[in-house]
Structure 1
C-alpha cells in the first residue's frame, strides 16, 4: 500500500456541545463537551484510520492546546510528524441548539506565521514526504502563509515523486487558477468555490464536469473533482468525466463530509483502486459523514452499506 502524509498547518481542538436554546444575553447551560482534533489534514487522517488505513499527520502545533492535539491524535492511533508552530494552536467551538437542531460554529484564527516558519515547514514536509507516496494538503492556511504555498509545496516534494492531493478554497485556490501552475495530482473543491472560479452557475452535472475538465486542460491538476452537495461529485481527467451520486440519507451535520471524502478517496488510491472506484468510495464516505453529529466523521459500517447506493456513471 502506498504511504500517505497529510498536512495540517492550522489545526484546532474542536469542542462541541449542546444547549436547550441559543439565546442572547443569557448563561446557556451546556452538555458535557466533547473534544476532537481538527483541521482538514487531521480529519483526513482520522477518516483514513476509521476506514482501516494508516497515514502520518504532519501537524503544526504550539502551546498547551497543541499538546492536546498531539495527545488526541496519539490516542486515535495516528502517526505523527509534529512541527513547532509560531504560536498557540487555535480552538473551535460548536453548539447545537436542541430546540431547532441548528448548529452554531465559532472558529478562531491560528497564529501568525512569519516567513521563516513557512520556509522551515516546507523543508520539513519535503523530508517527511513518502517517496512515491501521497501527500494531502487540506484545510485553511494560517495567517501569514502565502497564497502560493500549494505550488511551493508541489515543487519541494517533486524530487520524492510523491503525488499531491489538494483540497483547498479561497485565495489559495484562486491563486492557483490565476497562476496557471500545475501543483496537484488531484484537485478537489466544492460547488460554491467552483462557481466562484467559473464566474457562472454550474447547475448541471455536465456543467460541473466541463468546468473541472477545463481546469485539467489548463494544467492545474491531472484530475479535478467538484463536489455537488447532495448530488454527489463529478470528476474529470484530460479525456474522461464521471459522476457519482450521493446516497439518500438523513442529514444530521455536514461537518466533516469533505474530509471524509478525501480520506476515503486517498485511501482508495493508496490501495491502487481505479479513479472511478476511488470516487465512489469517497462519495459513500461523505454520505456517511452527514449522518453523524458535530465533529464525528464517517462510520465504516455506513460507508460499506452506502457504497452500492452511490453509482458511478460516465458523462
Structure 2
C-alpha cells in the first residue's frame, strides 16, 4: 500500500519497481495489493514491475472498497465485485488471482451474497481462493459455509491485539490463515513516528487517534521500553514486532509494507529470529489492554468495520 497510497507521496515508479524486484530476489513470495490502493495504481505497478515474474509469488488483491470519483467507497454488491475483479485482472496483467479478499464487508449487503459471488469467481477459474478483511469471528463463521475462507486479514501487532478477541482462534479452527496487516503498527513500532506534525499532509495516520498529540506522547513512553527490549534481543524494533506477530501461531502471516530497501531486508530477516519466550511475555504485558492511548481508527471508520474492538 505505501508504494501507491495513504502514507504521503509515493516513491517514484522506478524506485517502487526496484523494491518489488528486490523483494522477489530476497525470497518474498506473497504480495498483497487491492483495487483501492492508489485507486488502481498499485495493481498497475505490480503488473508492470513484476508481472513478468508472476510464477514467483502468490498474488493477493481485494475488492469491495474502491475509489469512485476520487472518493473511497465500500460496495459489496455482486455486480460491483465482478466489475472490480475484471479491472484488477487487467491491471495486474494476469488471468488469475491466487487470493481474493472482500476488503470490507458492506453491511448493506448480506455477507453471504458477497462471499457467494467470490465463490463463483473461484468456480470460473479467475480466483484460486477467497478471503475476508476486518471482520469478526462471528462474520467469518457465517461466511465460511457459503464458500471456504482461506484467509482473514485483520490488523495485528503488539499494539493492536483485537484478533485475540476471536479471530485468532476462529481462523485456526477452520483452517484459515490470519494475515496480519500493519504488523509494525503503521511504522510506530519501528520508531518512525515521534511527532504528529512530522507526518505528511495526506498521511492517513493524521486522522488516527493513536497518532494525535495527546495520545502519541503516552504511546511513545511505551515505545521507549519496547525499543529497549529490541536492543537487549539484538534486533531492530520492527523486527521484534514482526517476530512477536509470527509467534502467535503457525497459521499467522505478517505482511509489512515499506518503501525502503533497507527496511525490506531487515523485515525479511525477522522470520529467522529466535526471541526468548520471556521477552515475548514482556511484550504481552507492555501492550496489555488499556495501555495504548487512542482507538485504531476515527469513529466514522470504526463504524465501517466489523472486527472485534476493545
- TM-score between the two structures when normalised by the length of structure 2: 0.40
Between structures 1 and 2, the one with greater helix share: 2
